[in-house]
Amino acid sequence: MTIILQPYWSNGVQKLKVAGPPGLVPPAFNESLHVERALDQFRSKDQPLEKYIFLSRLKNDDPDLFYKLCLENMSEITPIIYTPTVGDACIQFSHIYRRPEGLWISIMDKGNIKNVIKNWPRIDDARISVVTDGSRILGLGDLGVNGMGISIGKLSLYVAGAGIRPLSTIPICVDVGTNNQAFLDDPFYLGLRQKRISEPEMDEFMDEFMHEMTQAFPKMMIQFEDFSTDKAFRYLDRYRHKYPVFNDDIQGTGAVVLSGFMNAAKLSSAASGESLDSHRILFFGAGSAGVGVAMQLQSFFTLQGLSVEQARRRIWLIDSQGLVYESRGRLAEHKKYFARNDYSGPPMTNILDIIDYVKPTALLGLSTISGAFTPEVIQLMAAINPKPIIFPLSNPVRLSECSFDDAVTNSNGTVLFASGSPFPAQRHSGRVLHPGQGNNMYIFPGLGLGAILARATQVTDSMVEASSLGLADSLTDDERAEDLLYPRVERIREISAHIAVQVIRATQKAGVARSPDLVSMADPALLAFVKRKMWNPSL
Ligand SMILES: O=C([O-])CC(=O)C(=O)O
Ligand SMILES: [Mg+2]
């Protein structure tokens, strides 16, 4: 008897699984039922973190089964492998760790990064990597090498959401120390026992890292993830014109919020009778995500015909000191662009006073201050707008500026809502209201897929904007009829394919595409091509 061994790939390593010769699998084994069995096992765990551990093990043992389960149960599984549970998994990463996954490069490898990268087993297949230094994981702060969990989670969504082949993905964590003392004192912590290195040392390290990555993987797109604010802007600026790289927290979050905002603004303007270009957006939180989103939202106004300068004037920022304005003095570099020059009184620190002064149509939270949008804040927004736009975007759930429930109750059901992390639907006056999830997971899979297929040499602003417009117009009539701001996550593959087409077109217009053969394809043919390129679990 010949035993049939079917090859599959796990974590870059080829393995073999018994495909079913008599005697080696149970007599009544049925593969399709096995997916349901795995789902049952998954549901039998009561703690989200246990579910996470179960799925992470399953992914390593049998990627086809894992991704089949994800694709068939997106809305149930995404909150486990991704936000919010991935946050807890990162906090606990060094304790729940079982076996290596991804690529670890530390400051000790400086000068030798080339040789470390060479150890990656599937160099030729690699197309996309998510890189973090763990310095600001979600809203959880410096988690050092435990940040690897976020790179892993994002790449699982690349596979599930955009059909990137599992083998083409590389989660990377660079260990440049951590300032998290509790971790440094924890014997289980998996990173170097040292504080974060200085900025010049980090720059040298990153320059070598980026150079060697692009040498080793010429077809690679690199996503920067959860670097702390200063480094997020710094390394995006430093490398964006040199390598195909984008920052998910600045650009991905910006694009997803722009998309949801476009849909919300239409509904809000229809209710108020105000023109689209008269919206006023107040940001609570002025870190990398806040300013990144504000930058992206400028294009909402320029798309309506305003100049960039007029668009800038439609945006106000609040940071930990209150309203951001020029004469307040000593502003961090990244806040200066949106600092107001039309206010020069004493610092305005109370959010209710600021709302009263600005009269925003939209309030966006990127502060990681849980509960910052109090009932009074929501009530005030509802008093000045028939349909207030309120987006508490901080992750994970417990750091959200308000819950969907609070937003619905305090606005009497009028709120147009999107949050970074998932919230349950609410019933109000006999209607079921659905929260939008303004999370960059709607953007990066399609953006990355488009960039890879076009073999983009850079990720331009126009590509990011194309991904946002692609997402905004991917709502179906049914979804629009329910006032949804984002499409249902179950349709993620369809949405990513649509976004990828828009992104490929943008690469062509920007002259950064290295796949000239795609130019001549009409849109339907290009969409079919993109869908054909998507990997599917073989089950
Ligand atoms: O990972 C997420 O859910 C969104 C994100 O990039 C962040 O919060 O840093
Ligand atoms: Mg992030």
Strands 315-319 and 322-323: antiparallel
Beta-sheet strands, E only, within 139-219? 169-175
Q: Find the angle CA(70)-CA(393)-CA(265) to the nearest 5 degrees.
A: 105
Residue 386: asked if its preceding bond is cis (omega within 30°), the reply is: no
**Which pLDDT value is given to residue 37?**
96
83 CB within 6 A, ligand 1: yes
Which helix or strand (DSSP H or E) is residue 245 part of? Answer: strand 245-247
DSSP structure string for 115-136: HHHHT-TTGGG--EEEEE-SSS
Annotated binding-site members: 136, 225-226, 249, 395, 439
Q: Which atom of ligand 1 is nearest to the CA of 136?
A: 9
Opening angle at CA 509, ends 507 and 510, nearest 5: 65
| Residue closest by Cα to atom 2 of ligand 1 | 83
pLDDT recorded at residue 27: 78
Closest CA to 221 of 463, 473, 526: 463
| Segment 54-58 mean pLDDT | 97
Read off the pLDDT of each residue in 91-101 and give the average, rounded to a whole number.
96
C-alpha to C-alpha distances, 471 to 254, 262, 499, nearest whole angstrom: 12, 10, 6
Worst-scoring range by mean pLDDT, 37-46, 126-135, 270-279, 286-295? Answer: 286-295
> Residue 45 pLDDT more than 60?
yes
Other Cβ atoms closer than 10 A to 337: 15
The binding site for (S)-malate consists of 136, 395, 439
Collect all residues with Cβ–Cβ distance below 8 Å to 395 and sequence separation of at least 6. Answer: 83, 84, 87, 138, 139, 368, 420, 421, 439
- Say yes or no: CB of residue 223 within 6 Å of ligand 1: no
Residue type, 400: S
Please say whether the beta carbons of 507 and 454 come within 8 A.
yes
Counting ligand 1 atoms within 8 A of each CB, the residue from 82, 135, 156, 226 with the most, and so the one to mutate, is: 226
Q: In the block, which residue shows the tokens 């083998």? A: 167
Ligand 1 and 439: CB distance under 6 A: yes
The question of whether 266 is a catalytic residue gets the answer no
CB 305 within 8 A of CB 317: no
The CATH class of 251-440 is alpha beta
The predicted pLDDT at position 516 comes to 83
105 neighbors 203 (Cβ within 8 angstroms): no
Residue nearest ligand 1's atom 9 by CA: 138
- The angle, 0 to 180 degrees and rounded to 10, between the axes of the packed helices 74-81 and 48-61 is 100
DSSP-assigned letter for residue 413: T
Homologous superfamily (CATH) of 91-249 is Malic enzyme, N-terminal domain (3.40.50.10380)
The reply to whether 91-249 and 251-440 are identical in fold is yes
Residue spans of the domains in the chain: they are: 91-249, 251-440, 443-533
Helix crossing, 375-384 with 351-358: angle to 10°?
A: 10
Q: Can you say which residues are annotated as belonging to the binding site for a divalent metal cation?
A: 225-226, 249
For 202-244, the pLDDT digits (tens) are: 999 999 999 999 999 999 999 999 999 889 999 999 999 999 9
Average pLDDT over residues 147-157: 98
Asked if 388 and 308 count as a contact pair (C-beta separation under 8 A), the reply is no
Calculate how far, in angstroms, residue 524's C-alpha sits from the geometric centre of ligand 2: 33
Residue 1 binned pLDDT confidence (cut-offs 50, 70, 90): very low
ipTM summary value: 0.98
pLDDT > 70? residue 24 = yes
Considering the candidates 8, 52, 67, 82, report the single residue annotated as catalytic: 82
Give the Å distances, CA to CA, from 516 to 242, 360, 463, 500, 507.
20, 45, 17, 16, 10
251 lines ligand 1 (CB under 6 A): no
Bridge-based pairing state of the strands 322-323 and 362-365 = unpaired
The CA distances from residue 146 to 94, 169, 184, 225, in Å, are: 6, 19, 12, 13
Concerning whether 335 is annotated as a catalytic residue, the answer is: no
SS3 162: helix
- Confidence at 539, pLDDT banded by 50, 70, 90: confident
Confidence of residue 2 (pLDDT cuts 50, 70, 90): very low
**Eight-state DSSP code of residue 325:** B
Pairing assessment for the beta strands 362-365 and 389-392 based on DSSP bridges:
parallel
Q: What is the amino acid identity at position 186?
A: D
Render pLDDT for 444-487 as a digit per residue (tens, 0 to 9).
999 999 999 999 999 999 999 999 999 999 999 999 998 999 99
Q: How is residue 30 annotated by DSSP?
A: -
